[in-house]
Amino acid sequence: MTEKLRLYQREFLKRVTQTYRRYLFKEVNFDNKLIGIVGARGVGKTTFLLQYLKASSLSFQEKLYVSVDVIGIDSLFDIAFKFYKEGGKLLIFDEIHKYQNFEQELKNIYDMLDLKVIFSGSSALKIDHSKGDLSRRVMMYEMQGLSFREFLEIKNGIKLPILTLENIIDDHINIAHELLIEFNLYQEWKNYLRYGYYPFYFENQEDYLIKLTHTVNTVIEIDIPSIFPMEYTNITLLKKLVTLVCQSNPYKPNIKTLLEKMNMKSDYQRLYKYLYYLHKAKIITLVGAKTRGDSIFTKPEKIYLNNPNLHYAYCENPEIGTIREVFFRAMLFKHILVVPDKGDFLVNEKYTFEIGGKNKTKKQIKGIENSFVALDDIEIGGERKIPLWLFGFLY
């Protein structure tokens, strides 16, 4: 079996031509014995794993890449055990959510074999505490799509800094001035919002939006049913829900209207489950109110598609106000965001942000401490007015 897997590995490695390294390379502690990388389909997890494998100083015999997605596998442990007996040291399992009992087998590999194991899976992947207590052994990381900064670096072959939220708040005028020396903002900004979130844009730009819808369909048809308990007959409902979310006003989602349009009568719990599944799979984003809990059966205050590119792929005429909020939410994935009584987002229970175009005023957040407006269509801000594009440098 390992002989065939090595042949597959050679073919996979031949395809790794991208030399650009994503932000996650700086965040993962590769000294850990068991590492999990999750993320939405299409954000570059496989490329990340193969880049790491290719750059490893281990010999070809000492490292092995296994795609669970395309290769029929009876036992992860049997592969690991045979590989270990042949002198293996680094084992990578890609798309592990396709294997039903992966938690117990990974635990057995961790406990019994002196192997470093890295695995990837869907962003909806659940580490079940009841199946081998894997959660205490694994270090989990989540990969996002390209930030605006990464998009600019790849497209223009330049190096740009990663900023913190505090950097932006405290010194955005000087930072924006220095950054704008490096690129043409307006040309790149509009392209990013339409096409720049998924790395496969750089493989085939003409068919990007078509490939994006195919990617979402694969998540709905294959990934979600492999992780969550649901009938395959309900897949069409998930697809319809994605379209309806795109067409809906995100500011006050009308759950009753969604139920009517999906012919689900008053089955609120099932609708909330479907929204949760799509949220975990990074197809939609649910944002709650400051005063509400985080139960999956709690009505979200706002519902978006996960990133601006999805809105351009699924909406005939995307609302620019929605696009702006979706971008802001996507770039601040490391932070806690809720919907406050005033303003669009409360970040980390400290900073209030209103999102808008260049003519947006501070009226809605007047008198609120640590409040700011993040504005589109401006290059450099002033006082408490911060350019929206600058938040694309948070990772």
Locate 272 and state its tokens.
């909330």
Taking the C-alpha atoms of residue 220 and residue 214, their distance in angstroms, rounded to an integer, is: 10
- Please state, in angstroms and rounded to a whole number, the distance separating the CA atoms of residues 391 and 330: 10
Residues 6+ apart with CB under 8 A from 137: 33, 34, 106, 107, 110
Which residue would you say has higher pLDDT here, 267 or 126? 267
Helix (H, G, I), strand (E, B) or coil at 179: helix
How much is the mean pLDDT over the chain?
91
**pLDDT for residue 128 is more than 60:** no
pLDDT per position as a tens digit, 304-316: 999 999 999 999 8
Contact status, residue 277 vs residue 296, Cβ threshold 8 Å = no
Q: Is the pLDDT of residue 389 over 70?
A: yes
- Contacts by residues 44-49 (CB-CB < 8 Å, ≥ 24 positions apart): 44/143, 44/145, 44/198, 44/199, 45/94, 45/120, 45/143, 46/94, 46/95, 46/120, 47/16, 47/18, 47/199, 48/22, 48/24, 48/120, 48/143, 49/92, 49/94, 49/118, 49/120
Rounded to the nearest 5 degrees, what angle is found at the Cα of 20, between the Cα atoms of 167 and 46?
110
Helix, strand, or coil (residue 91): strand
How far apart, in Å, are the Cα atoms of 41 and each of 192, 204, 226, 286? 19, 17, 14, 19
For residue 247, pLDDT over 80 is answered with yes
Is 380:176 a contact under the CB 8 Å cutoff?
A: yes
Q: Mean per-residue pLDDT for 43-64? A: 95
Radius of gyration of the chain (CA): 22
Instruction: Return the pLDDT at 226.
Output: 85
pLDDT at residue 13 tops 90 = no
Predicted confidence at residue 8, as pLDDT, reads 85
Scan for tokens 């696009």, then name that residue: 323
Count of CB atoms situated within 10 Å of the CB of 206: 7
Report the percent of the chain where pLDDT is more than 90.
74
Query: What is the C-alpha to C-alpha distance for residues 170 and 165, in angstroms, rounded to an integer?
Result: 9
User: Considering the chain, what percentage of its residues have pLDDT values greater than 70?
Assistant: 95
Q: Are 173 and 382 in contact (CB under 8 A)?
A: yes
What does the DSSP 8-state code read for residue 26? G
Q: How confident is the model at residue 218 (pLDDT cuts 50, 70, 90)?
A: very high
Mean pLDDT value across residues 369-392: 96
- Confidence (pLDDT) at 249: 66
Determine the pLDDT at residue 292: 59
| All domains in the chain, ordered by first residue | 2-143 (3.40.50.300), 149-393 (no CATH)
What are 374's strand-pairing partners? 355, 386
